[in-house]
Amino acid sequence: MAMNSDDLQPETIGPALLAFRGAKGLTLQDVSQSTGISVPTLSKIENCKVTPSVRSFVSLLQFLGSASASGTSSTARRAITRDGEAIRYETTNHIFDIHAADLLDKAMHPIVAEIVQHDVPPIDDWISHEGDEFIYVLAGRVTVYLADYRPYSLGKGESTYFDSGMKHIVISESDDHAQVLAISTSSANSLRLGPEKSAPRRR
């Protein structure tokens, strides 16, 4: 029976994965090989000890959907995301619309993000992950903070590219929220958003 991704949230996908594995006779290693998420991280997600990152959550949705339908992971080589089809994942500080979510194994991860956050948190709360990141401002104005550089401001039509292994954070300068296109090259389980509660949904 195929699972409905609209019914799953970060807080509930762990128990759903555990039940699914039991029904299919799959090991955590099987899931890890299909999703790129490490076995220890999968175990913590199943036992509700951590909330999955954006990319881990999407990878698990993809795995549960494709494995439920066919018993195998997705082998798609192309993605088309129509208006309203992006997977939305909300946190206290960001609203992410995740594109190309139907491609499980990809080198780039495109996200349109609405930046809600206006205050700079302590550097310990900034994020870092493997790979590189490209940010292009679609609306409003943002300040980019990188651990190894002075903060800099970007307006609509401007962009930045940096090593995302540095701790970093992007803050809205606008009275309203700013919007950016963010494309990163890290693995599915490398991005962490911290302990924020979130409520993803399809647009």
Q: Residues 191, 93: one domain?
A: yes
191 within domain boundaries: yes
CA angle 7, 8, 11 (to 5 degrees): 135
> Mind listing the pLDDT tens digit of every residue in the chain (203 residues)?
444 455 567 778 899 999 999 999 999 999 998 888 999 999 999 999 988 877 788 788 878 876 654 444 456 788 899 999 888 888 778 888 989 877 766 788 899 999 999 999 999 989 888 889 999 999 999 999 999 999 999 999 999 999 999 999 999 999 889 999 999 986 544 444 333 334 445 45
81 within domain boundaries: no
Residue 72: the pLDDT is 40
Residue with token string 């066919």: 70
For 108-146, letters b (16+ CB in 10 Å) and e give ebbbbbbbbbeeeeeeeebebbebebbbbbebbbbbbbb
Q: Residues 118, 174: one domain?
A: yes
Residue 77: the pLDDT is 81
Backbone angle region of 20, left / alpha / beta, with phi > 0 → left and psi within -120 to 50 → alpha: alpha
Q: Residues 93, 28: one domain?
A: no
Find residue 142's DSSP bridge partners: 154, 172
Q: Residues 96, 190: one domain?
A: yes
What DSSP string runs through 136-187? EEEESEEEEEETTS--EEEETT-EEEEETTS-EEEEE-SSS-EEEEEEE---
123 within domain boundaries: yes
Q: Residues 96, 63: one domain?
A: no
- Tell me how many domains the chain contains: 2
Cα Rg for the chain, rounded, in angstroms?
Answer: 17
Residue 111: the pLDDT is 93
Q: Residues 45, 97: one domain?
A: no
147 within domain boundaries: yes
82 within domain boundaries: no
Residue 115: the pLDDT is 95
Terminus-to-terminus CA distance in the chain, angstroms?
A: 24
80 within domain boundaries: no
Please report, for residues 7, 31, 42, 86, 94, the alpha-carbon distance to residue 201 in angstroms, rounded to integers and kept in the order given. 9, 23, 21, 9, 14
Assess contact for 133 and 143: CB atoms under 8 A.
no
Q: Residues 105, 169: one domain?
A: yes
Assess contact for 116 and 95: CB atoms under 8 A.
yes
pTM to 2 decimals? 0.71
Assess contact for 46 and 90: CB atoms under 8 A.
no
Structural domain of residue 95, as residue ranges?
A: 87-202
Q: Residues 131, 184: one domain?
A: yes
Residue 8: the pLDDT is 67
CATH number at residue 17: 1.10.260.40
Q: What is the DSSP letter of 41?
A: H
130 within domain boundaries: yes
